[in-house]
Chain A
Amino acid sequence: MFRPVDQPRTLAVLLALDEEACIARTVREVRAALPGADVLVVDDGSADGTAREARSAGALVARHPINLGVSAAEATGLAYAHRHGYGAVVRMDGDGQHDPAFARALLDAVQDGADLVVGTRFSELRSFEPGSLRRAGNAFLAAVVSTLCRQKVTDPTSGFRAFGRRCAAFFAGVHPHDYPEPESLLMAHRHGFTIREVPVRMRPRTTGRSSLTPGRSAYYMMKTSLALTLELLRAR
Chain B
Amino acid sequence: MSRSSWIVLAAAVLFAVVILASARSERTHERHTLGWLGVCVAIAALAIWRPGIDVLAQAMGIYYPPSALFFLCSAALLIMVYRLSVGLAQERERVRKLAQEIALLSVTRPDQPDQP
Query: Which A residues fall within an 8 A CB radius of B?
Result: 40, 42, 51-52, 55-66, 68, 72, 75-76, 79-80, 83
Instruction: Report the Cα distance A222→B102, complex, angstroms.
Output: 33
User: How many of chain B's residues have a CB under 8 angstroms from any CB in A?
Assistant: 15
Q: Does B100 touch A at the CB level, under 8 Å?
A: yes
Contacts A51-B114, A52-B114; is A61 near B107 (CB within 8 Å)?
yes
Contact A60 B107 (CB under 8 A): yes
5 tightest A-B CB contacts, nearest first: A62-B103, A62-B107, A58-B110, A76-B100, A52-B114
Instruction: Report the Cα distance A66→B99, complex, angstroms.
Output: 7
Q: B102 contacts which chain A residues (CB < 8 A)? A: 64-65
Q: Does B25 touch A at the CB level, under 8 Å?
A: no
Instruction: Report the Cα distance A83→B105, complex, angstroms.
Output: 11
Q: Which of B85-107 contact A (CB under 8 A)?
A: 95-96, 99-100, 102-104, 106-107
Least Cβ distance of A168 to chain B in Å?
14
Q: Does B67 touch A at the CB level, under 8 Å?
A: no
Q: A59 contacts which chain B residues (CB < 8 A)? A: 110
Q: Does B112 touch A at the CB level, under 8 Å?
A: yes
Q: A68 contacts which chain B residues (CB < 8 A)? A: 96, 99-100
Query: Nearest B residue to A39 by beta-carbon distance?
Result: B110
Contact A65 B107 (CB under 8 A): no
Q: A64 contacts which chain B residues (CB < 8 A)? A: 99-100, 102-103
- Contact residues of A: prevailing secondary structure: mixed
Q: A66 contacts which chain B residues (CB < 8 A)? A: 95, 99
Q: A58 contacts which chain B residues (CB < 8 A)? A: 110
Please pick, from A72, A75, A80, the residue contacting B107 in the complex, using a CB distance under 8 A: A80
Q: Does B109 touch A at the CB level, under 8 Å?
A: yes
Contact A60 B109 (CB under 8 A): yes
Contacts A52-B114, A60-B110, A63-B115; is A72 near B104 (CB within 8 Å)?
no
Q: B103 contacts which chain A residues (CB < 8 A)? A: 42, 62-65, 76
Q: A65 contacts which chain B residues (CB < 8 A)? A: 99, 102-103
Q: A62 contacts which chain B residues (CB < 8 A)? A: 103-104, 106-107
Least Cβ distance of B105 to chain A in Å?
9
Least Cβ distance of B103 to chain A in Å?
4
Least Cβ distance of A179 to chain B in Å?
15
Least Cβ distance of A78 to chain B in Å?
10
Contact A72 B96 (CB under 8 A): yes
Q: B74 contacts which chain A residues (CB < 8 A)? A: none
Instruction: Report the Cα distance A209→B96, complex, angstroms.
Output: 24
Q: A56 contacts which chain B residues (CB < 8 A)? A: 110
